Amino acid sequence: MADAEPTEKTYNPRMHSGGKLSFRGRQQDGDDDAGEFLVIGGDDPPPLALLVPTGFRHVEIEIGPGKGAFVLAATEAKPDTFVLGIEAAPAYASLAATKLRKSGRDNGRFLVDNGKLFLTDRVDDAALDAVHVYFPDPWPKRRHAGRRFFTEDVPGIVARTLRDGGYLYVATDNAVYAGQIVRVLGHAEDFVRDEAEERRVRALGAGHAFSPTNFERKYIEEGRVIRRYAFRRLARGGAAAEVAP
């Protein structure tokens, strides 16, 4: 189970109500191997402020980390940053949290929850340096489009949680979904696409943004075109308050 790729069957139908992704309160089992590195969100997930150990000035979230390759790399590349992976599939979160525990690093956790809900009601204003979303499920059927992460409400939800100059990093192999992402974020008043940042973080290498992820590895092997975007959160208060990244 832990090694299976996510399919529609991975999803409990109860997590989709009214065409929207909503799975708080679904049955979730803990995992002794993962210890405190796996947090089961359940009906009432703890707020971010309770999950971050004292002393971390920088906090980043990855939504949908799958088997956790990026969070594992990011906690190693950025030891001063706390990285929280929020994963809908308990088996993946458990697998990833066990790997993190075995790494010996304490600057990350995996939480089982709906990432969009968690950003909406469990994260303080301007609490995050970055939000990462890599290879979000494209849900290609029209009737499933409401399950996508990048719907019209996402810029507002993410912008509230990012500090001024913080980043939303996104990668996808799906050209249609990439178009939706660029349209939704491109029209958002709080974000601007930053191609210099895209080049900068790619040059920095593993664990800074975009790489590595399990799906990235698979799609590179298949020769698929991967689109990577960095959207910078503009300064609150308008252009006069804009800060350098």
Ligand X SMILES: C[S@@+](CC[C@H](N)C(=O)[O-])C[C@H]1O[C@@H](n2cnc3c(N)ncnc32)[C@H](O)[C@@H]1O
Catalytic residues: 137
Within 8 A by CB and 6+ apart from 54, the residues are none
From the list 26, 38, 39, 66, which residue makes contact with ligand X (rule: CB under 6 A)? 66
Dihedral Cα 198, 202, 206, 208, nearest 10 deg? -30
Beta partners for residue 171, in sequence order:
134, 228
Q: How far apart are CB 85 and ligand X at their closest, in Å?
A: 9
Tell me the window of 61-69, 100-108, 179-187, 200-208 that interacts with ligand X (CB under 6 A). Answer: 61-69
For residue 34, give both structure tokens: 């993962």
**Residues touching ligand X: how many (CB under 6 A)?**
23
From the list 214, 226, 242, 245, which residue makes contact with ligand X (rule: CB under 6 A)? 214
Verify binding: residue 92, ligand X, rule CB under 6 A: yes
- Using CB under 6 A as the binding rule, the residues of this chain from 25 to 54 that contact ligand X are none
From the list 64, 90, 108, 207, which residue makes contact with ligand X (rule: CB under 6 A)? 64
Strands 58-63 and 128-134: parallel
Q: How far apart are CB 24 and ligand X at their closest, in Å?
A: 11
For residue 229, give both structure tokens: 């975007």
Residue of minimal CB distance from ligand X?
64
Strands 81-87 and 20-21: unpaired
Q: Is 192 helix (H, G, I), strand (E, B) or coil?
A: strand
Q: How far apart are CB 217 and ligand X at their closest, in Å?
A: 8
- Using CB under 6 A as the binding rule, the residues of this chain from 111 to 170 that contact ligand X are 114-116, 134-137, 149
87 vs 129, which CB is nearer to ligand X?
87
From the list 41, 65, 90, 166, which residue makes contact with ligand X (rule: CB under 6 A)? 65
Give the single-character DSSP code of 46. P
Within 8 A by CB and 6+ apart from 76, the residues are 103, 105, 207
From its phi and psi, is residue 109 left (phi > 0), alpha (psi between -120 and 50) or beta? Answer: beta
205 vs 243, which CB is nearer to ligand X?
205
The residue ranges that bind ligand X (CB under 6 A) are: 6, 21, 63-66, 86-89, 92, 114-116, 134-137, 149, 213-216
